[in-house]
Structure 1
Amino acid sequence: MKLAMAEMDVTVLVAVAFLFSLFAYTGAVTNPVDTAALEAFHKTLQDPSGNLANWVGNNPCENAWRGVVCSAPTGPSNITFVTELRLFDLNLGGSLAPELGNLTQLKYLDVMWNHMTGSIPPSFGKLTQLYLLLLNGNKFTGTLPKELGSLSYLDRIQIDENQISGPIPPEWGGLTSIQHLHMNNNSLNGSIPPELGSLPNVVHILLDNNELTGELPPEIANARQLLIIQLDNNQFASNATIPSTWANISTLLKLSLRNCGLTGTIPEMGGLPLLEVLDLSFNNFTGPIPNQTAFPVNLTSLDMSNNRLTGQIPTSIGNLQSLEILSLSNNQLSGAIPENLGTGSTFQSYGGVKLIDLQNNQLTVNSNSLAELESNSTTHVRYAGNPALCPNAQTITNPLCIPNSDPVSFTYDSVIPIEIPPNTCQSCKYITVGYRLKSPGFSVFDLYSQQFLAYLTAGLDLIQNQVILQDYTWQAGPRLAMTIRLYPTGNNTFNQSEFDRLYQTFSQWRIPDSAIFGPYELISFYPRSLSAYNSASKGGLSKGAIAGIVIGAAALTMLVTGLILFLFYRRRKLPPALLAQIERMNRAKRNPALKVAGVKAFTFEELALATDNFSEEKQIGQGGYGKVYLGILNDGKKQVAIKRAEQGSLQGAHEFYTEIELLSRVHHRNLVMLEGYCDDEGEQMLVYEFMPGGTLRDHLSALSGIPLDFPTRLRIALGSARGILYLHTEANPPIFHRDIKASNILLDNRKVAKVADFGLSRLAPVPDMEGATPGHVSTVVKGTPGYMDPEYFLTHKLTDKSDVYSFGVVLLELITGMHAISKGKNIVREAHQRSLAGLGLSIIDPVIAQYPAEALESFMQLALSCCRDMPEARPTMAEVVRDLEGLGRSYSDIFPDGYSLDMPTQSSRISTGSLPMSYPYSARDRDSNDTSELLSGTVMHVAPR
């Protein structure tokens, strides 16, 4: 009785302390005008993901509304003002409320990478303290309000990648502090206002991919801080030329006027001493290339292709030591190639892939240095289409004479994963950042990757090995997208203040601009926790406020702890049998048993018996999901593979339900069959048919000891393709596999291929209410580096062509025997470059080199067609199956007697004992680069057109 009274006294004291803490601090009050503005904005928003679920109440600052950052309390009433709206990448729809113009203290407005529509309200002209206006990556329409021209503190406008139309207001000449005008990829029209030349601080004018017309204003040269002018893909007036004043902007680093319909002659560029990139391609320039004494010595890229230039190539171009790309193709140039062309130090080096493209001119005399360059460096030289240099007989035999319609592909890579240094804390929790260089001053990133890491590390105030470049890819523009990991030092995680500092360094553009790397943009920042936003929101609270919060939290903790101890004490008195029953009921509520028609539900006891209680002797593999065992079912005859999830594997649980759902509805001879599952006793297991032949990766790695001949590889390719085709066209609804790779293609004892591992698969989109079927599924990026479709990686959009790309990588593995990624080399890139150079067969697996070159070349070209960067350029799986079948028919004479594409000869069988027992989940030889869990939070958005 005394003990009970004591417990009650303690409980009462804890409760009193907690209630007292609730009234210990009344808190700050958000400016009512700001509150009304945010409430109006909230009404216009669409929040399907519930990211703004805590926007409740009438005190946004004190209640720490997500993404709302406030000033410190001021005055006797503790009034706070909204200074920042940080709503970056939250899957928001809706529009910008005009009432946001009433946030008089707002400095940062960031709604990048959402799905917002509507126009920019003219009331934003009242945001007199605004420093950053970040609206890019949405679906905004309407015109640009002239009222923004009065914002004298505005440093950066980013409206790129929207659907904004109309002219650029001449009133924007009043943006006296503006440095960055990023307005590319919209539908802006009319002329560029000459008033932009009066902007005293502007450094970047990015207006590419719009519908601008008129002439180029000479007044732009008056902006004496200009670093970049980028106007590609506009159609200016038919008589528009490059103003002579532009050739004297002494600060200019990049001038890009590709495909602008410009005419006239090209002015001398001697007044641009710092220029690094000059792109004048796809215009109507005539006359000679300026024969000046020296081009800008810092030039890394010079592209004057696809014009009507005449005369000889100036010898001054050959003196450029930093040049990486020289493209003069598709002109009317004549005469001898200068002897010094290609002698620059960068062209002579082995770092990166460089290009000298002189195709389709009237050049007459070859330079000896160019022939040596092709064989002694990583610089590619092309002069096909010059009749005097490339007679018809040399078109095939001379590598320099092989036509190449896409010279840029030499340097613009696909997704290239980077190996993480071994001395990095790989077990530490890291931050993943999607980052994009919007207008880099180079074309070959390999030459600058280490310099870039040093630049970024210094800009983030981190140290070596804290900043890791995970991968990069060139996009249209050209723009360079990359994924970066940030690792902590000492501890396993960043603390809150460091997390916030890193986010703000990226999102508020605190990394200094670089002459080489140019402007950047933040694409994603993962993870973004609620606590990180709230911490930033409460930055201005007083010490008394913090003390009150701490006391209240402590009291609440004591109260909860007391209640838990009390309940635990009460529960200890229950009979053991009743406790066990309660636990079983709770487990059943948390994870109700599955009921799947047509698939057997095994008990835990049955599978434990089948595997000798999951003994080590029965284990045949292990992966990220868990361990895989060979099982013998109770009839003693049937072998199965049992995939057992690790306890507490949340991702595994998701994959578990996904595989059961999908495999229960698909049946095809080239898909691994699901025999059953176990969802019992807190265990999750999948039971498959056993595949004694192991994985395709095993055989290509020679683990089987029996190399595959070409007919067998062709049959494996066709069987796998048919399985994937079934998923795409005959499953109801269709299925995107999302993780096709050589280690997920299994072989039975007759080398019949079956596609396995559906844990990452997604159902294809179904028709909406109006009968229209979306072309993709929007989803987080998951998969295996080296196999992932670059377009899916970048845009977040999964399609059937994503599987086609992955399968193309498998085809390349079959024809070369190489891994998808090996020692930092990407098989797609290697095969593509060699194929363009006419050396595609140089990387054929020697085991099959004796087969007809035409058959091997056809197989290689089919693989490369599947791996094209743009999804619409890839074949469908139906076309892949058709081409593989046609290849088998065309070269049927190479197959052994009795062999067909559907059934091997007896000699092609493999005995059950020729390989270690295999399993349907590719764990035993699981790719070291498989980072599907790592990539689950990486989001890259739609690439610019």
Structure 2
Amino acid sequence: MSAKLLFYGIILSTLYFKYMLYAEAQTTDPSEVSALGAIKSNLIDPLGHLDNWNDGDPCISNWTGVICHNSTLDNEYLHVLELQLLRMNLSGTLSPELGALSRMEILDFMWNNISGSIPTEVGNITSLRLLLLNGNKLSGSLPETIGYLPNLDRIQIDQNFISGEIPRSFANLNKTKHFHMNNNSISGQIPAELAILPNLVHFLLDNNNLTGHLPPEFSRLPNLLILQLDNNNFNGTSIPASYTNMSKLLKLSLRNCSLQGPIPDFSTIPGLGYLDLSWNKLNGTIPTNRLSGNITTIDLSHNHLSGSIPLNFSGLPNLQRLLLENNSLSGSVPSTIWRNINLTGNRSLILDFQFNNLTNISDTLRPPANVTILLHGNPVCNENQLQIGQFCQLQSIPFNESSTVALSCNSCPENYEYNPSADIPCFCAIPFHVEYRLKSPGFSNFQPYYVDFEVYLTNGLVLSINQLHIDSVVREEGPRFRMQLTLFPDRITIFNTSEVLRIRSMFTGWLIPDSDIFGPYELLNFNMGYYGYGIS
């Protein structure tokens, strides 16, 4: 009997020894553990989100925000896959040791208070797909080394204090689709070399200090959908005629860029949905060929345009805003623009012709109730005050758009909320909340796209439509649309944790497919509430 016990003891000891060897092999790469320690030491963490970075192994002990590869990549150690530190009230600086996380794919420090510069060592993370540093206090110039990240899909450094020029090395970013670098202090000229980027889709550099001229070579970008450069200073230059060859362009926004010269004929762009050339010094007449039937917004206001308002603005089925105020337009006030436009439901149309030289009316002005015509500051108002007085009052276009829904059911238990979208009346469940922003939408008014957005987002997240409730929508400068979203479990009262983490990874990994009309999005906050703070 003792011999058998001895035998089984040897077997168990051997298995335990093998298990310990296996467990030891599954620990995190020591160099990455050391790098995480250095990263933490450079950060100020007043709320203690990273306190567990001192406990055990990063990958085995689930350090906050540290997500690892599911298996070893080199048959020895586990490696950091993602660093997800969204909105944790962190300050301090970014450590150069970030470059030691050489297998990382997502680097996310969005919406913190981090200062200092972007370390050049970030260029060592050749596996990096998403560089997400927006919404901080970063300064200094963009490292040249970022231009040598062969797998980079998205660079988001917007809403910082980055200065200096765009490195020409960025012309090497053959896989990069999204350049989101708006609201910084980036200066100099846009490198013409970027025109060779085969996959560039969104190029957002509005609200910077760019100068020089608009590179005509950008017309060669085969997949460009959004070009947004508002509030820069391309002083005295014109819009390149070659931009009319951007066959896939959906949105062109060049507001307040000190541009002059004529407006090119953009009717050759088949899907153009949004055109903003306002607050420039453009002159000449407005092109008379009809723009794309997708167009929702045409803003040519605050320029030096002359001639008459052409008839080609009539019959554009999706038009929401035609803004021509503060020019030198003359002739008749058109009375047919709203015909053949879809104005059902909550759709509306604003026609702003204020402060021009319009002298007469082509026909009786009898627009539908949801069409707003603004004529103040035109001679026609002096001569036809009795007939058109209601259109001649000085008005401004309302900027803020918000939407909220009041709840009328009895209160739910603690941590539960009533789901207004549920097909079961007054059904209570435990949700979580997402703060979300449409960053460069293809429209000026969200309301007509409310249901379309619900379908788009729930399809992208692989959820049913009754799992989403839009708590509020607020129009912000840009225009951008900031939303408060609530996501509910489907016909049950609680999510399992894996489903919450799956949905979060869809947002944080930018795995929701892009939309032509809704454009790129920003994740502002992901509040897991009852399900716990952060990734574990």
Aligned mate of 1:310, from 298, 306, 311: 306
CA contact (8 A) 1:323 1:344 kept: no
Matching residue of 1:342: 338
Letter in 2 for 1:377: A
Question: What is the CA–CA distance in structure 2 between the aligned matches of 1:364 and 1:254, rounded to whole Å?
Answer: 33
Does residue 1:283 correspond to 2:298, yes or no?
no
CA contact (8 A) 1:417 1:472 kept: no
Question: What is the CA–CA distance in structure 2 between the aligned matches of 1:222 and 1:408, rounded to whole Å?
Answer: 38
Distance 1:303 1:265, change over 3 A: same
Distance 1:415 1:139, change over 3 A: farther
**Higher helix share goes to which structure?**
1
Question: What is the CA–CA distance in structure 2 between the aligned matches of 1:94 and 1:457, rounded to whole Å?
Answer: 37
CA contact (8 A) 1:88 1:113 kept: yes
Matching residue of 1:372: 366
Alignment of 1:566-577 (within 5 A): none
Q: How far apart are 1:62 and its partner, in Å?
A: 1.8
Matching residue of 2:392: 401
Alignment of 1:29-44 (within 5 A): 29-44=27-42
Distance 1:76 1:504, change over 3 A: closer
- 1:158-192 deviation per Cα after TM superposition (whole angstroms, max 9, x unaligned): 00111111111111010000000000000111111
Distance 1:189 1:426, change over 3 A: farther
Matching residue of 1:247: 244
Question: What is the CA–CA distance in structure 2 between the aligned matches of 1:418 and 1:378, rounded to whole Å?
Answer: 25
CA contact (8 A) 2:32 2:79 kept: yes
Deviates more, 1:87-96 or 1:73-82: 73-82
Question: What is the CA–CA distance in structure 1 between the aligned matches of 2:232 and 2:398, rounded to whole Å?
Answer: 20
Aligned mate of 2:401, from 389, 413, 418: 413
Q: How far apart are 1:76 and its partner, in Å?
A: 9.3
CA contact (8 A) 1:366 1:389 kept: no
CA contact (8 A) 1:350 1:377 kept: no
Question: What is the CA–CA distance in structure 2 between the aligned matches of 1:174 and 1:414, rounded to whole Å?
Answer: 42
- 1:476-505 deviation per Cα after TM superposition (whole angstroms, max 9, x unaligned): 111001111111023211101111110011
Structure 2 residues without counterparts, runs of 5 or longer: 1-15, 408-419
Question: What is the CA–CA distance in structure 2 between the aligned matches of 1:71 and 1:313, rounded to whole Å?
Answer: 60
Distance 1:335 1:77, change over 3 A: closer
Q: How far apart are 1:58 and its partner, in Å?
A: 6.0
Alignment of 1:152-163 (within 5 A): 152-163=150-161
Matching residue of 1:85: 83
Question: What is the CA–CA distance in structure 2 between the aligned matches of 1:233 and 1:393, rounded to whole Å?
Answer: 37
Aligned residues: 504
Percent same amino acid at aligned positions?
Answer: 43
**Higher strand share goes to which structure?**
2
Question: What is the CA–CA distance in structure 2 between the aligned matches of 1:43 and 1:211, rounded to whole Å?
Answer: 34
Distance 1:475 1:444, change over 3 A: same
Letter in 1 for 2:102: T
Distance 1:263 1:70, change over 3 A: same
Letter in 1 for 2:404: I
Aligned mate of 1:56, from 37, 40, 54: 54
CA contact (8 A) 1:301 1:326 kept: yes
Matching residue of 1:328: 324
Letter in 2 for 1:243: P
Letter in 2 for 1:372: R
Q: How far apart are 1:421 and its partner, in Å?
A: 3.8
Letter in 2 for 1:380: T
- 1:6-47 deviation per Cα after TM superposition (whole angstroms, max 9, x unaligned): xxxxxxxxxxxxxx9xx9784521101111111111110000
Alignment of 1:779-794 (within 5 A): none
Question: What is the CA–CA distance in structure 2 between the aligned matches of 1:272 and 1:75, rounded to whole Å?
Answer: 47
CA contact (8 A) 1:350 1:378 kept: no
Q: How far apart are 1:244 and its partner, in Å?
A: 0.9
CA contact (8 A) 2:350 2:373 kept: yes
- 1:488-532 deviation per Cα after TM superposition (whole angstroms, max 9, x unaligned): 023211101111110011111111111110000111111265586
Matching residue of 1:46: 44
Matching residue of 1:145: 143
CA contact (8 A) 2:85 2:108 kept: yes
Matching residue of 1:114: 112
CA contact (8 A) 1:383 1:390 kept: no
Alignment of 1:196-211 (within 5 A): 196-211=194-209
Question: What is the CA–CA distance in structure 2 between the aligned matches of 1:470 and 1:378, rounded to whole Å?
Answer: 25
Alignment of 1:923-942 (within 5 A): none
Q: How far apart are 1:77 and its partner, in Å?
A: 7.0
TM-score, normalization by structure 1? 0.52
CA contact (8 A) 1:66 1:530 kept: no
Distance 1:341 1:158, change over 3 A: same
Q: How far apart are 1:391 and its partner, in Å?
A: 4.6
Give the SS at the match of 2:47.
Answer: coil
Question: What is the CA–CA distance in structure 2 between the aligned matches of 1:248 and 1:438, rounded to whole Å?
Answer: 25
Give the SS at the match of 2:171.
Answer: helix
CA contact (8 A) 2:422 2:467 kept: no
Matching residue of 2:179: 181
Question: What is the CA–CA distance in structure 2 between the aligned matches of 1:170 and 1:192, rounded to whole Å?
Answer: 9
Letter in 1 for 2:500: F
Question: What is the CA–CA distance in structure 2 between the aligned matches of 1:169 and 1:44, rounded to whole Å?
Answer: 26
Question: What is the CA–CA distance in structure 2 between the aligned matches of 1:187 and 1:217, rounded to whole Å?
Answer: 19
Give the SS at the match of 2:358.
Answer: strand
Matching residue of 2:485: 484
RMSD of aligned residue pairs (Cα, Å):
2.1
Matching residue of 2:515: 514
Q: How far apart are 1:408 and its partner, in Å?
A: 4.6
Matching residue of 1:387: 379
Question: What is the CA–CA distance in structure 1 between the aligned matches of 2:152 and 2:73, rounded to whole Å?
Answer: 28
CA contact (8 A) 1:349 1:377 kept: no
Question: What is the CA–CA distance in structure 2 between the aligned matches of 1:418 and 1:498, rounded to whole Å?
Answer: 28
CA contact (8 A) 2:65 2:534 kept: no
Matching residue of 1:458: 459
Give the SS at the match of 1:533.
Answer: coil
Distance 1:391 1:421, change over 3 A: farther
Letter in 1 for 2:393: I
Distance 1:69 1:311, change over 3 A: same
The structure with more radius of gyration: 1
Letter in 2 for 1:305: S
Give the SS at the match of 1:200.
Answer: coil
Letter in 2 for 1:379: V
Matching residue of 2:526: 525
Letter in 2 for 1:160: D
- 1:206-251 deviation per Cα after TM superposition (whole angstroms, max 9, x unaligned): 00011111100011111110000000111112x2111111111000
Give the SS at the match of 1:69.
Answer: strand
Does residue 1:423 correspond to 2:423, yes or no?
yes
- 1:225-284 deviation per Cα after TM superposition (whole angstroms, max 9, x unaligned): 0000000111112x2111111111000000000111000000111221100000000000
Matching residue of 1:562: none
Question: What is the CA–CA distance in structure 2 between the aligned matches of 1:320 and 1:196, rounded to whole Å?
Answer: 34
Letter in 2 for 1:462: L
Give the SS at the match of 2:195.
Answer: helix
Q: How far apart are 1:372 and its partner, in Å?
A: 1.5
Distance 1:105 1:34, change over 3 A: same
Q: How far apart are 1:78 and its partner, in Å?
A: 4.7
Does residue 1:363 correspond to 2:361, yes or no?
no
Alignment of 1:575-724 (within 5 A): none
Question: What is the CA–CA distance in structure 2 between the aligned matches of 1:76 and 1:213, rounded to whole Å?
Answer: 48
Q: How far apart are 1:350 and its partner, in Å?
A: 4.6
TM-score, normalization by structure 2? 0.90
Question: What is the CA–CA distance in structure 2 between the aligned matches of 1:522 and 1:367, rounded to whole Å?
Answer: 48
Aligned mate of 1:69, from 56, 63, 67: 67
Distance 1:256 1:531, change over 3 A: closer
- 1:874-925 deviation per Cα after TM superposition (whole angstroms, max 9, x unaligned): xxxxxxxxxxxxxxxxxxxxxxxxxxxxxxxxxxxxxxxxxxxxxxxxxxxx
- 1:645-670 deviation per Cα after TM superposition (whole angstroms, max 9, x unaligned): xxxxxxxxxxxxxxxxxxxxxxxxxx
